[in-house]
Each structure stands twice: as C-alpha cells, then as structure tokens.
Structure 1
Amino acid sequence: MRGDLRAHEESLRLAAPELVGRLRELLGAKLVAYLGSVQETRAVRQWAAAEDPRTPSTDVLNRLRMAYRIATLLREKDPPGVVQAWFQGLNPRLDDVAPARLLREGGLEQVGPGVLAAARAFAAAG
C-alpha cells in the first residue's frame, strides 16, 4: 500500500506537462491519447510540452492522474509492456472490460475505485 500512496501523492504534485510526459513513457502516446479522449498523439505531445499553452481539461487531467497512479503502482513489479497490456486487456475483475475503456468512458468517481482495486489485486498477485 505504501507504493500506492506514493503514486497517489506524486500524481497530484506533478504539473500537467510532466504528468503527461511520464504517463506517455509508461503507457505510450497512443494509449494516453485514448485515455485523454483525443484522436491524435499530437495532442499528447502538446500537453507534455511545458511551453505549449494547451492543456487537457480538468476532467481529462483527473483521468490521466488516476491512470498515472495506477501505472506507477503496476510498474513497481512489472515492465511497461505488461502495464500497457493490463490497461488494454479485458479484466475479469472489471466485468471483462478493459481498464482503459472504463477510465475513458466512465465517471471517474464511479469507475476509478474499481479500476484501482483491480490494479492493486494484480500488483499483489504478481
């Protein structure tokens, strides 16, 4: 649980460009674009550029903070490829829905705790 708390605090302290940049390193630009509900990875690159005034909306930024928290938690035990696969794969703990889809399409207050619990269970089992 200690790593989870650290990941949570870090996700809140990071400025938006740094958060997006780190998340892009962990998950790849395409998955970050998907989570951010944008069509092109160019938007992700712009969000990560500190000098670029474009930033994600508050809703998207909160979703990305949750994704970063989860990715960081999973990354403690698994390589980035496994973390990416976890986000994209059908998850039996989430009624066989991919965590990335839930985070993108669901209300964060409704789906966030369940996705986080599934990530904790996966990290604990690994």
Structure 2
Amino acid sequence: MATTAATTANTPAVAKSAVSAERAHATTVRMSIADIARFLQDNLGQRLTARITNINDPRQVGKWASGDSAPRQEAEDRLRAALQVFQLIQDAESLYTARAWMIGMNPQLEDEAPLTVIAEGRFRDVMVAARAYVDGG
C-alpha cells in the first residue's frame, strides 16, 4: 500500500512537468521572434539576452524586440529555447524564480548557468534540467 501512495503522490508532479512543458512549447511556437526578444529583454535584460545569442552588441536585442531587424537563425533558435525553458520554470514557480534559475549555477549542468548552456547550443540539456527542477529533482 505504501508503494501505491508514493506512486500516487509523485504522479501530479510528473504530470505538472509534462503539462507545463507542453504549454511552454505552445507559447514559444506561437510568439513572433520580436515578441520573444522583447520578453527576454524585459525579464533578463539586453546584456544577458545578447549573451544567450552570442552577439557582442546588446543593443541588437532591442532592434529585434522592436521588429527593426530579425536575428539570424542560430540566434532565433537560442531565443526560442531560452523562452521555452523560462516559461516552463515560470509556470511552475514564478517570474523571479525563472530569472534566478536561468542565471544561477546549476548542478545538473556541471555548475554552469542555463543561459550559458543555451548559448553553447545545448538546448536539450537545459530542458532536461528544467524538467527535473519542476519535478522537484
């Protein structure tokens, strides 16, 4: 009986992660790249958003956010990955927790910050770490 109770107790957390991940994915694919850049600029700042995309001029993020220019595909991929992970954490916790999670050292990512790992193109690693966090691991 104890096994059933433990299994039942764990089910909502796993389901929450799966539902949150689907919701984060849907949000990300529906948003324009200008809206994504604006969201990340507003919540992480231009410098950190520029760091995610490996660009030297943080003002370029503002141009993307205003729709004056569009990022190259590699930068867009990083922006979309960052938003999806941010949304997953925010949905489970809060805006402030999501920001702190993105910039803080993460033991599941060899003590690198998730935004640094996204900048390296390791999107899946960050999503795995985010899901583990949401699931309480």
TM-score range, shorter chain: 0.7 to 0.9
The residue that corresponds to 2:26 in the other structure is 9
- Cα deviation for residue 78 of structure 1 reads 2.9
Aligned residue runs from structure 1 range 20-59, under 5 A: 20-50=37-67, 52=68, 54-59=69-74
User: RMSD of aligned C-alpha atoms?
Assistant: 1.7
Distance of 1:30 and 1:77 partners within structure 2: 26
**Which of the pair has more CA radius of gyration?**
2
Q: Deviations over 1:16-70 (max 9, x none)?
A: 11111122233222211111212233111100112x1x21110110111010000
Q: Report how many residues are paired.
A: 120
- Cα deviation for residue 79 of structure 1 reads 3.1
Distance of 2:56 and 2:99 partners within structure 1: 18
Greater CA drift, 55-64 or 6-15: 6-15
What is the TM-score with the length of structure 2 in the denominator? Answer: 0.78
Alignment CA distance shift 1:124-1:25 (3 Å) = farther
For structure 1, the residue ranges without an aligned partner over 5 or more in a row are none
Distance of 2:45 and 2:106 partners within structure 1: 20
- Cα deviation for residue 80 of structure 1 reads 2.9
Q: Determine what percentage of the aligned residue pairs are the same residue.
A: 30
